[in-house]
Structure formats: C-alpha cells, structure tokens
Chain A
Amino acid sequence: MKGLLRSMGVTLSAFMRKPVTREFPETHRELPERDRAFPLLLWDFEQTEPFCTGCHACERACPVECMTVLMKDNPNHKSAGGDSTRRKIIDKFWIDYGRCMRCNICVEVCNFDAIAMNNTWSGHEMSVYDRADLVQDLPQLLSESRGGELKAWRAP
C-alpha cells in the first residue's frame, strides 16, 4: 500500500507542474540555429547569382547519391562582358529530399560555402502527396535564401 501511495504522490506532483507540451500546428517551438532540416543553396546578393559553381564536390560526397549537379559557363563572367568573378556556375541542381539523410556532409565539403542546412520550420513541414514532389530543383532550392528567410549556420 505504501508503494502505491508513493506512486500517486508522483502523479499528483506531476499534475501541479507546468505543462511542457504545445499545440503543435498552431504554435511552433523556436528552432535552434544549428537545426538541420534539408540542404538548401545560398544566394549571393552581391553578384546576384548563386554561390554554387557546380563543382560536383557535394554530389560525390553524398552517401545516398541524392544530388544531381550540372555546371555551365557563367554567361555573366567578366570574360563574357559581365561583372561576376565566377567562371563556372550552376546550371541545374536537383536534390531528392526523399532520399537525403540529412547528414551535413554536403555542407562540410563545399569549398564555396554555397550550401547550408535549412534551419527553419519550412524544412520540417514538408508533406507532399507524391514522392516525386520531394525532388527539389534549382529555383526551389534557392528560393528560401533568395527571399532572405534563411540565416544559415556555419560550423565555428
């Protein structure tokens, strides 16, 4: 009997504590800045083009081979009469979020700081009816950064 009463004491004390739950779809927890959802490409506002040069380093390092990278000559490069310092630039980029295992390796291998993990809620609330919709193309990958919502975190 003593043990039972002690158990009930625990339940009673828990009853008095502040709730720790949250009404999820209405209210969101604040995400830590290191939060890793899915990789996104970053937009270079100074030269108004993506940082990514299409160097394939991330594609080769990805353990699940979910990235596809195609590179092209930058039409905006100085030699072509533009004002960009990038000789090569990304042409097409796909990441299959359905396969990505969010391991952060692509971010670590990129020499141009062109890719970062999404640390906003948009990276977590991604439900689609068709798996093919999880394959993100270049405009989709850039939109978050281009719109200024993404504050990418870099490992110190």
Chain B
Amino acid sequence: MTTTTPGQEFETQDLMINMGPQHPATHGVFRMVLQVDGEIVRDLIPHIGYMHRGAEKLAETMDFRQGIGYMDRTEYLAQFNAELSYVMAVEKLAGLEVPERAQWIRMILCELNRLSSHFMFTGAFGTDIGVFGTAFVYSFRERETILDLFEEITGDRLMYAYFRPGGLAWEVTDNFERRVGEVLKSARQGIKDMDGLLTENEIFRARTQNIGIISAADAIDWGCTGPVLRASGVPLDLRKTEPYLRYAEVDFDVPVGQVGDTYDRWLVRIEEMRQSVRIIEQCMAKLQPGPIMPERMPRMLRTPPGEVYLRTEAPRGEFGVYMVSKGGNRPHRLKVRSSCFANLQALKDMAIGSYVADAVAILGSLDIVLCEVDR
C-alpha cells in the first residue's frame, strides 16, 4: 500500500486521446483530439474534412437546375432550406418573380423541414446524453411522418430536388391540406413527447445545465448563428430581421435562451418547433390556388453577369449562397456559407474545462451536419 504525504506533488502528464472519425458520438465523420487531464478536457483540436466532396466546385460545372441536386446533398437534414438559398440566389441574379402560391408552399415545406431536422436533433442529442434509443425512436416516429409527406409531394424521402429557380417543379398533391393537418397533429404530439421526456428530467438537466456555456459576445465573435446564437440570448433570426419569402406576413416568436448552455440550446430548439407549427398553420390558411411557376420560363435559364449573396435561416443557422455569374447558364463561382462550420468553431471554447462526457453533449448540442461542414 502506498501512502502519500500531504503536500507531496506528483508529476502528472496530460493525455492525448483521439475521438472519431468513426465514433458514435461524433454525428458523422468528425475527429477531435482531446488533451485530457484525468477527466477534464484541457485542449481540443477538431479535425474536419473527411466528408469533403467538392460539392461547390461540382455545382459550378452544372447549370442552375442540375445544381439543385448538389444542394440537397450538402445539407442532408434540411434539404429544402438548402435548395431555397440556392434557387433564391439564382432568382435574384436572373430577376425572376416567384408566384405567391409557390412562395407559400416553399415556406410550408421549409418549416416542415425545420421540424424534421429538429426531431433529428432531439433524438440524436438524447442519445448523446445517454437516453439510449428512447428519445431517438420517439423522434424518428414523428420525423418519418413528415418524410412520408415529403415523399408524397416530391417523390423522394431525402433528396427532394423540388424547388426550381422561379418556383416549384410540380404542383403539390390534391390532399395536401389534409395531409399537412395530419402531420402537424403528429408533430405536436412529438414535441409534447420530447418535451415531457427530457426537458424536466432531473438526470437530463444535471447533464446539460451549465455545460458548454458560451457568452453572447463570444458566440457573435465566432460567427455562430441559428439556435446556438439564440441560446446565448441574441435574438437574431433572419426570418425576422430580413424577411424573405412571406415571413413578414406571418406571426411568430423568436425564442432566446438566457445562459447559453447546452440546456438552453435544447429549449430554444423545442420552442422553435412549436413556432414552426404556428407558422405552418398560418401559411395553410393563406394558401390560394394559382400558378407555381412564372409564365414563360426559358427552357434553359441564363442569368446576366452579377454577384449575389443570399442567406436564409436554415434549422442550423444562416445558410448562405454566394454566387458569381459571368452570364450563361451556370454559376462561375459558388460558395456555400455553412452554418455548422461556423458553429463548430465555437466548440473549443465551450468544451475546454469540461468533462470528456460533456464534450460529447456539447458537440451534440451544436447539431452539426458534417456534410455541410465539409461540403
């Protein structure tokens, strides 16, 4: 038996441990190298790029319609939002006027997509925290009903390729209104379930409260957007601050957090889901029959030379598309401003000083999509 005399110092060494790229807690292929002192994270070095496919460069070789498919694959949990930024950038370049009905349908689909994306978050975050399976399968039950609706409208469960510069590819189904009603009903139930399952759960709160705090100033400095920024108390929501589509005509609140911890990021997302349901209900009331494409669209869309940056509020924050056109039917340069990439930069700040297990919770609360980070 060894005894230690009080005051005697042991020389300890920090340990470097590797997490990922194939790790169940890293949400895709993300690798972080942690320098740990016992259980405490002293330093964190993120490694990204495992998923880099050059999607932006590829989309530069494609005409404006072909590029839409690549936007789906860039942000595979909020495909409609990604498509929206892209087609709206093209519309702005080409000066296209989108019919009103197409705008409302776009809004409904984007908000439904926000719901499905946040359901993915609630499920995956639950798993990160240690609620193995339960939260995940409950979330996925509701998410699947939304994907069923998307499949009925667009024909695909994930890669929709449904928005087109100018409007929509085709009309929604005849029973659209009834189906949206059904989906909203199940989504409301799902939100209630997730809220009841975790929000007040003492174990969940112990694991998330006061973990991974980031102040509003730091979050702004790192370029965080979306729920991560709002959880720190900054009410920046592009749907409110610079409304696109018809967001100025609907009524909704922008939830903000107070502390900026992991728990706040959870609360903000849960509340955002409720607001999305509210937005969709208002959109459905305002949906009128009408055209979904402008009259006289050219077979091959060409834009005048120009340069645009267009950003929209995707579920994970600002999804921006920067596009340079030199005239012709394809972008000369395309750059995607990824919300996850900026949010991920704040990870180091949040995780240093926390436990290793909490680093997983913090990463989960950022809700990253690695395909979007690496593009």
Contacts and interface: CB of A to CB of B under 8 A. Distances in A.
Contacts of B289: none
B134 A11 contact: yes
A136 interface: no
B200 A36 contact: no
A3 B205 contact: yes
A108 B171 CA distance: 14
Contacts of B155: 32, 34-36, 104, 117, 119, 153
A98 interface: no
Interface in A75-107: 101-105
Interface string A1-27: 111101101110010000010000000
B114 to A, nearest CB: 22
A125 to B, nearest CB: 15
Contact of B69 (A2, A34, A63, A153): A63
Contact of A34 (B62, B70, B144, B152): B152
A126 interface: no
B201 A6 contact: yes
A4 B151 contact: no
A7 B198 contact: yes
Contacts of A105: 65-66, 69
Contacts of B65: 105
Interface string B191-231: 00100111111111100000000000000000000000000
**Interface residue SS majority, chain B:** helix
A147 interface: no
Contact of A32 (B67, B68, B69, B152): B152
Given A4-B203, A61-B66, A63-B69, A104 B196 contact: no
A103 B71 CA distance: 12
A20 B144 contact: yes
Given A10-B197, A156-B170, A1 B202 contact: yes
A34 B173 CA distance: 9
Contact of A20 (B73, B141, B170, B171): B141
Interface residues of A, number: 28
A6 B200 contact: yes
A7 B156 CA distance: 34
B336 interface: no
B87 interface: no
A132 interface: no
A38 to B, nearest CB: 12
Nearest to A103: B69
Contacts of A119: 155
Contact of B196 (A7, A61, A103, A153): A7
Interface in B16-75: 62, 65-70, 73
A155 interface: yes
Contacts of B247: none
Given A101-B69, A104-B161, A63 B62 contact: yes
Given A4-B201, A34-B154, A101-B69, A14 B159 contact: no
Nearest to B200: A3
A30 B202 CA distance: 42
A4 B131 CA distance: 12
B39 to A, nearest CB: 25
A14 B201 contact: no
Interface of A: 1-4, 6-7, 9-11, 14, 20, 32, 34-36, 61, 63, 101-105, 108, 117, 119, 153, 155-156
Closest 3 CB pairs of A and B: A3-B200, A36-B155, A155-B170
Given A3-B199, A3-B204, 6 more contacts: A4-B201, A6-B200, A7-B200, A34-B153, A35-B151, A104-B155
